[in-house]
Amino acid sequence: MTKTTEGSPKKVQRVETAESMAQKQREISVSEFFLKNRHLLGFDSPRKALMTTVKEAVDNSLDACEEAGILPEISVEIQQTGDNRFRVGITDNGPGIVKNQIPKIFAKLLYGSKFHRLRMSRGQQGIGISAAGMYGQLTTGSTTVILSKTKNGPKAHRIGVQIDTRANKPTILAEEEIEWLPTFYPAQPDGAAPVEPVSFKHGTCVTIEMEAAYIRGRLSVDEYLKQCAIANPHLQLHYRIAVLKKENAKADNGKETEGANGAPAAEGNWNTFQRAVHHLPKAPAEIKPHPHGVELGILMQMLKDTHARTLRSALSQDFSRVSDRAALEICEKAGLNPKANPTRIAHQESEALFKALGETKLMRPPTDCLSPIGEEQIIAGLKKEIQADFYTAVTREPEVYRGNPFQVEVGLAYAKPGENQDLGADDPVRVLRFANRVPLLYMAGACAMSRAITGVNWKAYGLAQPKDAVPVGPMVILLHIASVWVPFTSESKEAIAHYAEIIKEFTYGLQECGRQLSVYLSRRHRQAEADRKRSYIEMYIPHLALGLREILALNDKQEQAVVTKLSDMLERTHLDV
């Protein structure tokens, strides 16, 4: 220790050495990373955390039901247990989960069955539901409780788990077998007395308690479930929420709101979104990677993992649209021996092979891996939840971006001004965005779908449109992309990346729906003009008959006959118009 000029001691700053810094290094598990960066997964605010939890659980339930060939029946129950504390329970009638898989599915990040396959599905990374459980564990210290019963199981398994964030593995805190069946409580759409509860012999229920906030609006759980019912018309969804009554509570923006102040939303009553169609969507098939959609690193890993004995057979067996002849052509372009052992291809040779793959003309990847909603189903879903006067939908033909097949769909619902209180004639149109049938509520401004909407000239179709903005009018625009790998801008899966191929397809779909809307608006305008002229003529018919009576000396009966004949002539002319 040294001394300053005043005589007081001066601390010497400690300098780290290579050895001391090495002692501080340690491995960071994926669980620890997401624990400190939970905003990447959609848990960046209490309100959003509640919606994300419901979203991940409902997505998993829908995927499980559809893969098992079961018409999905799902219930969502949210109950406030304290200040900013909610218990969320989601039940489905899916096939159930075998006992030894339950802890890994709900308490281990990056564990799932969908990441390594190329087919359309809602979940992809194997993060969502386990991240919701981890968030509940972080904010309340509670356990994720799972009830699951398979069709052939005599009893249900009840397991309580938490995630060991250091090791990214599940910790089982409670385990037992109980008598349990997934039970649902349908509500009549007209508010009549509820029907008898419905039980199934198989299904799963997950319950998570967390710190959250319930606020009604366009970014709420209510809106997510409504949009989910639109994009999945084969789903029957039951929903109930009960919040504590508190006075003078504030929302996130400091204003008092109905949801934030604890006013119960249908407390004790179930609300049901009825299914509009009674058959499952087409099951998507699994495909192999397309050569134009793989990166160099992925190609090198595939060559190491292949079971093929020769490079030529590896290309034809492990990739889609690569015939034996095309594989030989690729090997010749790369200057490689077709009979070479693929697991021993050097890095420099892999680069030549990668370049040859990109230069070889191949067929587009197969599109049976996609399962679009369909035009009729989109219209059925919109009619079920959106009150409007005109509906239309377009499903575009499949296209490809970076070797990945995708398909876009567009739907419109236009209401007469003043007919739907939620759709104002002077307000911007309402936009519903979906990816693989999943609603996207946040980050609309960063989404390729929004870019496509603002890029269309809606004035040509009869709508007002400010510069570089969405059009104005009492209308709902639905946009959906189906793909084996949706290009989200982040792990929270809230916006689609701006690929030119995707924006172009959405633009074409919007323009096609716009042309149909223009025909409808033109017809309605002509009808309104005809009605206006007819009302003027109807107003003067009695005066015309009175004038004829004075000129022709008609009696009352003859005058009435003139009025009747003129009215009949006007009616026939009006119908002709």
Ranges for all domains in the chain classified under CATH 3.30.230.10: 375-521
Q: What is the pLDDT of residue 270?
A: 87
Range scoring the smallest mean pLDDT among 152-161, 470-479, 549-558? 549-558
- pLDDT mean across residues, the chain: 85
Q: What is the pLDDT of residue 120?
A: 83
Nearest C-alpha neighbor of 345 from the set 310, 294, 397: 310
Write the burial class of residue 537 (CB in 10 Å: 0-12 exposed, 13-18 middle, 19+ buried).
middle
User: In the numeric block, which tokens belong to residue 69?
Assistant: 């060939």
Q: What is the pLDDT of residue 355?
A: 92
Q: What is the pLDDT of residue 155?
A: 93
CB neighbourhood size of 571 (10 A): 12
Range scoring the smallest mean pLDDT among 234-243, 250-259, 481-490, 523-532? 250-259
Mean pLDDT of the 239-252 span: 69
What type of residue sits at position 445?
Answer: G
Q: pTM of the full predicted structure? A: 0.81
Nearest C-alpha neighbor of 393 from the set 309, 318, 477, 463: 477
Place of tokens 């095309």: 326
Which of the given ranges, 17-21, 281-285, 406-410, has the highest pLDDT on average? 406-410
Helix (H) / strand (E) element for 106: namely helix 102-107
Q: What string of H, E and C letters represents the secondary structure of 311-345?
A: HHHHHHHHCCCCCHHHHHHHHHHHCCCCCCCHHHC
Confidence check: pLDDT of 546 > 60: yes
What type of residue sits at position 106?
Answer: F
Beta pairing, strands 271-273 & 85-92: unpaired
Confidence check: pLDDT of 433 > 90: yes
Between 1.20.120.610, 3.30.565.10, 2.60.40.10, 3.30.70.100, what CATH number should domain 30-272 receive?
3.30.565.10
User: In the numeric block, which tokens belong to residue 493?
Assistant: 């899966």
Whole-angstrom CA distances from 339 to 326, 328, 331 are 15, 10, 9
Mean pLDDT of the 64-89 span: 93
Confidence check: pLDDT of 136 > 80: yes
Output the CATH code of domain 375-521. Answer: 3.30.230.10
Q: What is the pLDDT of residue 258?
A: 43
Q: What is the pLDDT of residue 161?
A: 94
Higher pLDDT, 546 or 100: 100
Q: What is the pLDDT of residue 116?
A: 54
Query: Which tens digits make up the pLDDT trace of 481-540?
Result: 999 888 888 777 889 999 999 999 999 999 999 999 999 998 887 777 777 767 767 777
Confidence check: pLDDT of 24 > 80: no
pLDDT bin (cut points 50, 70, 90) of residue 264 is very low
The torsion angle over the Cα atoms of residues 327, 330, 335 and 336, rounded to 10 degrees, is -30
Mean pLDDT of the 236-241 span: 93
Ranges for all domains in the chain classified under CATH 3.30.565.10: 30-272
DSSP per-residue letters across 35-99: HHTGGGGT-SSHHHHHHHHHHHHHHHHHHHHHHTT---EEEEEEEEEETTEEEEEEEE-S----G
Mean pLDDT of the 466-477 span: 92
pLDDT bin (cut points 50, 70, 90) of residue 122 is confident
* Phi/psi-derived region of residue 523, left when phi > 0, alpha when psi is between -120 and 50, beta in every other case: alpha
Mean pLDDT of the 301-326 span: 90
| Cα–Cα distance, 386 to 388 (Å, whole number) | 6
> Dihedrals φ, ψ of 360, to 5°?
-85, 130
Range scoring the smallest mean pLDDT among 12-21, 387-396, 449-458? 12-21
Ranges for all domains in the chain classified under CATH 1.10.8.50: 291-359
Whole-angstrom CA distances from 356 to 289, 292, 296, 332 are 16, 10, 12, 9
Q: What is the pLDDT of residue 391?
A: 95
Query: Which tens digits make up the pLDDT trace of 334-390?
Result: 999 999 998 888 778 889 999 999 899 999 888 888 999 999 999 999 998 999 999
> How many residues are there in the chain?
577
Mean pLDDT of the 101-122 span: 75
Q: What is the pLDDT of residue 18?
A: 79
Scored b (16 or more CB within 10 A) or e, 258-297 reads ebbbbeebeeeebbbbebbbeebbeebeebbbbbbbbeee
| Cα–Cα distance, 252 to 236 (Å, whole number) | 32
| Cα–Cα distance, 382 to 393 (Å, whole number) | 10
Confidence check: pLDDT of 254 > 60: no
Query: Which tens digits make up the pLDDT trace of 409-425?
Result: 999 999 988 788 888 88
pLDDT bin (cut points 50, 70, 90) of residue 29 is low
Q: Return the CATH fold of 291-359.
A: Helicase, Ruva Protein; domain 3 (1.10.8)
The vertex-198 CA angle with 192 and 202, nearest 5°, equals: 155
pLDDT bin (cut points 50, 70, 90) of residue 4 is low
